[in-house]
Amino acid sequence: MTPYRPPHIPSGEITPQGLYLSRRSVLGAAAGGLALASSPKVFAAPLAAQPSAYKVADKLTSKEDVTTYNNFYEFGTGKDDPARNAGSLNTRPWTIEVGGMVAKPQVIDIETIMKEIPMEERVYRMRCVEAWSMVIPWIGFPISAILDRVEPLGSAKYVAFETLVRPEEMQGQAGLFQALEWPYVEGLRLDEARHPLAILATGLYGETLPNQNGAPIRLVVPWKYGFKGIKSIVKITLTEQEPPSTWNKLQPSEYGFYANVNPEVDHPRWSQATERRIGEADGLFGGARIDTLPFNGYAEEVASLYDGMDLKKFF
Q: How far apart are CA 9 and CA 117, in angstroms?
A: 21
Asked if 170 and 235 count as a contact pair (C-beta separation under 8 A), the reply is no
Asked if 230 and 245 count as a contact pair (C-beta separation under 8 A), the reply is no
pLDDT at 95: 98
Domains of the chain: 15-305 (3.90.420.10)
Asked if 94 and 110 count as a contact pair (C-beta separation under 8 A), the reply is yes
Question: β-strand 274-277 against 132-142: which pairing, if any?
Answer: parallel
pLDDT at 285: 52
pLDDT at 112: 94
pLDDT at 129: 81
Q: How confident is residue 13, by pLDDT bands cut at 50, 70 and 90?
A: very low
Q: What is the pLDDT of residues 258-300, one digit of tens each?
A: 999 999 999 888 899 999 999 886 544 556 889 999 999 999 9
Q: How far apart are CA 266 and CA 10, in angstroms?
A: 50
Across 184-189, average pLDDT: 98
Q: What is the 3-state secondary structure (H, E, C) of 226-285?
A: HHHCCCCEEEEEEECCCCCCHHHHHCCCCCCCCCECCCCCCECCECCCEEEECCCCCCCC
Instruction: Report the SS3 class of residue 49.
Output: coil
In 3-state terms the chain splits into helix, strand, coil percentages (rounded to 5) of: 25, 25, 55
Q: What is the pLDDT of residues 73-130, one digit of tens each?
A: 999 999 999 999 999 999 999 999 999 999 999 999 999 998 999 888 899 999 988 7
Q: What is the pLDDT of residues 157-182, one digit of tens each?
A: 999 999 999 999 999 999 988 999 99
**Phi, psi of 162, deg, nearest 5:** -135, 140
Q: How confident is residue 146, by pLDDT bands cut at 50, 70 and 90?
A: very high
* 309 Cβ contact list (under 8 Å, min separation 6): none
Q: How confident is residue 22, by pLDDT bands cut at 50, 70 and 90?
A: very low
pLDDT at 286: 57
Q: What is the pLDDT of residues 190-218, one digit of tens each?
A: 999 999 999 999 999 989 999 999 999 99
Omega cis (within 30) before 3: no
